[in-house]
Structure 1
Amino acid sequence: MAMAEHAAAAAAVSSPAVPAWTGVALSVSLVLVAVVIAWRQHLGLAREIVIASVRAGVQLLAVGAVLLFLFEHAGLPGGFAWLGVMVVIAGQVAGRRGAGLHRARWVATAAIGGAAAVTLGVLLLFGVVQSEPRVVVPVGGMVVSGSMQAAGVTLARMVAEARQQRPVIEARLALGLSGAEAFAAHRRELLRTSLMPTLDATKVVGLISLPGAMTGLILAGVSPEVAIRYQIVVMYMLVAAAVMAALGAAELGQRMLFTPAHQLR
């Protein structure tokens, strides 16, 4: 992993595969094509495409400046602090998917943070990735992103399931079952639904498209064999993080569904 990182960094400086700023500017023409298509088709999305594209560019430039500072001055503590910020932001985003659930954003943040801490901790403990900010931050960012998606889908499905099956759940509660017992069948189903996108993507990785980490390393001039090893680690850590985040969101979210007296909120 260490060799891959250093090779990628060295190759990226001189590789013609890495676009210059003029190339970045020219890529704006692709956004203009999308805007024209949306306008001609009367989709009402032309303005949204422009806003999203500008926002993405500004955010990436800002993050690039922050990362440059972290890598050169803040060290590993700064890298972990930035990951903490990522977890908080991801918790807010995923929590909005569970609108209507009591303390949904807290649930999402805790689930994402726990999944990211365990996954990244294992990788660092066994030396799979280097304990350097330029490695920890991007790898941790991928873990947080995958956890956010899994937690968000889990909470969204939980709220929908509780609303649709409210009579059934309340009937079970009336028979003397606890909240966990009354919701158990629905919990299993929503977990399956939440994890299917991650599992489907894992099954076809490399067959339909080359994943981001592998593509980036190959474009930077790294050997495909090295890039494949890196991507295998990435895919496995994303699967683990998604499962833990979904399970954490389901467990904590389920507790928020019911009052201490086992009444459905």
Structure 2
Amino acid sequence: MTGLAELGWGGVAASLVLVALAAAVACRQRLHLTRELIIASMRAGVQLIAVGALLLVIFAHAGLPGGFAWVVIMILVAGQVAGHRGTGLPRARIAATAGVATGSVVTLGALLALGVISAEARVVVPVGGMIVSGAMQAAGVALRRLCEDVQQARPAIEARLCLGLPAREAFLPHQRSALRTALLPAIDSTKVVGLISLPGAMTGLILAGVDPLTAIRYQIVVMYMLLAATALAALATARLAEHALFDHAHRLVPLPEPT
């Protein structure tokens, strides 16, 4: 029996000691995060239990259509979360949702079309979840960086516009900066995978008793798909945000003052 199979609800309850440790640190250092930390931990547990029960139903009765429907729900939720990072930008949530959808659909579709993963709900849902999560993070980072750049570099952008540059060229340096910021975490993680950390997919497979070389093959696919999802999501989000920032006359639209 593997270490993963031996973990019961008693072990999960015992791990609350770790939450208490983190809460104690936050309280001791007066970070004013203790309540938020505890609520987040309890919420995560409840959400995961509920999702686990729902996935049992999907796998047993809904099949592949139910799996794809669940991925769509994840994309919509992720778009709202990532869009919050661009508060102040016009149609930030729409741009984030479209960006997450682009990165997720293209990447997941490529994996299915190439036969890298099987078209089964129990495969599509967890793999889709990893892809959507990576796309969400990239979209959120790109929007946050764009928001900061537009607020701080507005005079420079407007100066380029006054010199006759179209909106796309005037904004291009800031779009590139946002894309670099969004992609660097995924690139850095890919560089050191296996040297500094054993990522979640590989660790889970090893705990489940899978041969390490088999686990490594799955992890390689995971890292490559996350790179693709991150790049596509960040690019689509940044381009859509750029279109929302300028009017038809190539003028930078006014933004609310940062709070």
- Normalising by structure 1, report the TM-score: 0.93
Equivalent position to 1:34, from 9, 22, 26? 22
Q: How many residues align?
A: 252
For 2:116, which of 98, 116, 128 is the aligned residue?
Answer: 128
Q: Which runs of 4+ in 1 moved over 3 A?
A: none
Gapped regions of structure 2 (runs ≥ 5): 254-259
**In the alignment, residue 11 of structure 2 is paired with which amino acid?**
G
SS state at 1:182 partner: helix
Structure 1: where are the runs of 5+ without partners? 1-13
**1:207-247 deviations in Å (ceiling 9; x for gaps):** 11100000000000000000000000000000011000111
For 1:45 and 1:158, locate their aligned partners in 2 and report how far apart those are by CA, in whole Å.
28
Q: What is the match of residue 78 of structure 2?
A: 90
1:263 aligns with 2:251: yes
Secondary structure in structure 2 of the residue aligned to 1:225: helix
- Please point out which of 85, 94, 103 is paired with 2:91: 103
- Is residue 203 from structure 1 mapped to residue 191 from structure 2 by the alignment? yes
- Paired position in structure 1 for 2:4: 17
TM-score (norm 2): 0.95
Describe the shift of the 1:17–1:77 C-alpha distance in structure 2 as closer, same or farther (beyond 3 A): closer
Distance 2:147 2:22 in 1: 35
1:182 maps to which residue?
170
Query: What is the deviation of 1:149?
Result: 0.5
* Structure 1 residue corresponding to 2:156, chosen from 146, 154, 168: 168
Note closer, same or farther for the CA distance 1:185–1:41 as it changes in structure 2 (3 Å cut): closer
Distance 1:49 1:168 in 2: 41
Q: Provide the aligned C-alpha RMSD in A.
A: 1.0
Greater shift after overlay, 42-51 or 231-240? 42-51
Aligned to 2:164, what secondary structure does the other structure show? Answer: coil
Alpha-carbon distance, 1:184 to partner: 1.2
What letter is aligned with 1:82? W
1:183-262 mapped onto 2 (5 Å cutoff):
183-262=171-250
More deviation, 167-176/106-115 = 167-176
